[in-house]
Amino acid sequence: MNRFSMIMFLGSLAGATGLYAQNPFSTEVKANYNNAKNNLLKAADKMSESDYGFKATPDVRTFGQLIGHVADAQMGICGAAKGEQKKGEAADKSSKSDLVAALKESFDYCDSAYDALNDTDGAQTVKMFGRDRTKLGVLDFNVIHDNEMYGTIAVYLRLKGIVPPSSERPAGQGKGGKK
């Protein structure tokens, strides 16, 4: 690496570190949200259309109902963070294409809440479930809920012989990330 490239790299790294230092809480919540978003969208895509009606046991939601629940919950939670009353309609859907579209729509709606988040605005209070919560707390709760649902979804995928997105390894790598 030549000297100019090294200086540019170090300058970029310092700038990124400075951004994180300015808003460490919101930056971390955004990163966690994007990770959960990536896993959920990939999981929804990996399950076949015919298995959207699959239930792990008779007394639980179908895979499709889990995807619909995530979409609807996100609309309500992110709506609370934005100071809006938003209700999703994914619970009424059953096809993979409709549910994946609803999930994507809920992420599109939530993206603007996370994109606008910084540590100062994150300290503002909003109402969620009848209680005062900070915007940061509301959006962190959304991440927690997304990850909780992803954990359940991952079990459904494994029961169908599908490796969950968070357990996938890059091509050519074996167990433990080794070739």
Does 136 map to a domain? yes
Residue 15's pLDDT band, with cuts at 50, 70 and 90, is low
Residue 169's pLDDT band, with cuts at 50, 70 and 90, is confident
Does 78 map to a domain? yes
Give me the pLDDT at residue 7, please. Answer: 58
Q: Which two tokens stand for residue 151?
A: 């954990």
Report the DSSP beta bridge partners of residue 131.
128
Please report the DSSP string for 145-179 in residue order.
Answer: HHHHHHHHHHHHHHHTT---GGG---TT--GGG--
Q: Which of 37, 67, 71, 36 is nearest to 49 (CA)?
A: 67
User: Structurally, how many domains does the chain consist of?
Assistant: 1
Does 114 map to a domain? yes
Does 116 map to a domain? yes
Does 112 map to a domain? yes
Mean pLDDT of the region 125-145: 96
Give me the pLDDT at residue 10, please. Answer: 53
> pTM for the whole thing?
0.84
Mean pLDDT of the region 53-59: 97
By residue range, what is the domain housing residue 112? 62-164
Burial of 129: CB neighbours in 10 Å, binned 0-12, 13-18, 19+? exposed
Give whole-number Cα distances, 55 to 9, 58, 60, 89, in Å. 50, 6, 6, 21
Angle, helix 135-159 to helix 63-82, in steps of 10 degrees: 170
Angstrom distance (rounded) from CA 123 to CA 119 = 7
Give me the pLDDT at residue 9, please. Answer: 56
Give me the pLDDT at residue 113, please. Answer: 97
Does 131 map to a domain? yes
Give me the pLDDT at residue 128, please. Answer: 93
Does 170 map to a domain? no
Give me the pLDDT at residue 178, please. Answer: 47
Give counts: helices (H), strands (E), the chain: 6, 2
**Does the structure show a pLDDT above 50 at 179?**
no
**Does the structure show a pLDDT above 80 at 157?**
yes
Report the DSSP beta bridge partners of residue 126.
133
**Does the structure show a pLDDT above 90 at 11?**
no
Mean pLDDT of the chain: 90
Query: Which CATH number do you get for residue 79?
Result: 1.20.120.450
Does 117 map to a domain? yes
List pLDDT tens digits, range 66-118. Answer: 999 999 999 999 999 999 999 999 999 999 999 999 999 999 999 999 999 99
